[in-house]
Amino acid sequence: MFTEELKAIKRLGFRHVLLQVLNFAAVITSGLMIWKGLGLITNTESPIVVVLSGSMEPAFYRGDLLFLTNPPSSSFKTGDITVYQIPGVDIPIVHRVIETHDTATDPSLNDTLIHTDHQLLLTKGDNNAMDDIQLYQGLDWLERKHIVGKVQGFLPYIGYATIAMNDFPQLKYALLGTLGLMALIQRE
């Protein structure tokens, strides 16, 4: 099946194949560094996420690519679209904030409306009939530590490539194998 490609790799020689492997590793490492750099700039572990369900239609559709930020000094307002992750659940959820509560951490400040770092949030999908309390797995509210980021922008339908690779793992492995093979046999 791959006999011609294997012959081509043998003709290249060990040093050339090693150089191609190092070039491929450099490309992968560069991508990871860019991802981590974006995470540092935006203050979120996932600066880009893909919408996986229709719960936010018509604002976002399945396959839309979302760009997130999570500035530590800003508070969330009703209407903000957030991505949150509940402990023990693998997939983050994209929903709109429908209610916020600022709680003072100092008991002497209870009567004063101040900017606090302890904010409680209630969310709901635009296409859902009820709020998300059932999704919180025993939590009454979301806290700042559950928030992955606030949506700042999106590209429609670009995320379908990611959805296809998750739904069909063979496609992902075929694509990675093809890219790796092309990196090895490329002569430049």
- Which of 46, 64, 95, 146 is catalytic? The answer is 95
Which of 97, 148, 102, 146 lies closest to 123 in space, CA to CA?
97
C-alpha distances in Å from residue 13, one per residue of 9, 22, 185 = 7, 14, 11
The answer for residues whose C-beta is within 8 angstroms of residue 140's C-beta and 6 or more apart is: 120, 133
Give the integer Cα–Cα distance in Å for 51 and 48: 10
Catalytic, 132? Answer yes
- Which of 46, 64, 132, 146 is catalytic? The answer is 132
Catalytic, 55? Answer yes
Catalytic, 111? Answer no
Specify burial of residue 162 (Cβ count, 10 A radius: 0-12, 13-18, 19+). Answer: middle
Q: What's the token pair of residue 128? A: 């859902």
- Which of 46, 55, 64, 146 is catalytic? The answer is 55
Report how far Cα 163 is from the mean position of its chain's Cα atoms: 12
Contact 172, 163 (CB under 8 A): no
Q: Active-site residue numbers?
A: 55, 95, 132
